Amino acid sequence: MRLFVGLGNPGAKHARNRHNIGFMAVDGIARRHGFSPWRRRFQGETSEGTLGGERVILLKPATYMNESGRSVQEAAGFFKIAPGDVTVFQDELELAPGKVRVKIGGGIAGHNGLRSISAHIGNDYRRVRLGIGHPGVKELVHGYVLSDFARDDADWVNTLCEAVAEHAALLATGADATFANKVHLAMQAKGFLTKDEDGKE
């Protein structure tokens, strides 16, 4: 069994925030693969289905970003899911828009959602880092991540979420590098990434 966690903030006013691309990604997985309707539990919302022959629980914490770990710990504890079987979809300032990286463990790079999760279940979970770009100045980061994607961003954001959903079974079966490569190729085919951006860590 796998736990796929999308990070974001609850409520309609945050729905299109850059910080909520993790929510958008798991919503896309649920739609594409016919997962069960969302239901409220574990201080969040869950949806269940199967990817690559593996049972997968999707989770969107409703605790706000800074307390995401409480929801993740509750769900992982209930299903007895080890940190190594938890995958977190997060916004990543240090990657160009549309780039994706997958890694297990490592630093949290100031991401409050990851900080909370690591505090509650340890650091050995998988992160799917979804590039949103950087505003260029540290002082602008807070407002940047909590503001909506620009209208011009809609095409690449939708393409990215669709590609993540299409290839999500690769994450469920541990084929992380293949997943990242497939998503990269999908973004490249639509002209959102250049050929020198090879999708490697």
User: If 0-12 CB within 10 Å is exposed, 13-18 middle and 19+ buried, where does residue 194 land?
Assistant: exposed
* φ and ψ at residue 34, rounded to 5 degrees: 60, 40
The tokens describing 165, both together, are: 């959903």
Plot region of 199 (φ>0 → left; ψ -120 to 50 → alpha; else → beta): left
The residues annotated with a catalytic role in the active site are: 19
| Closest among 63, 87, 79, 78 to 8, alpha carbons compared | 63
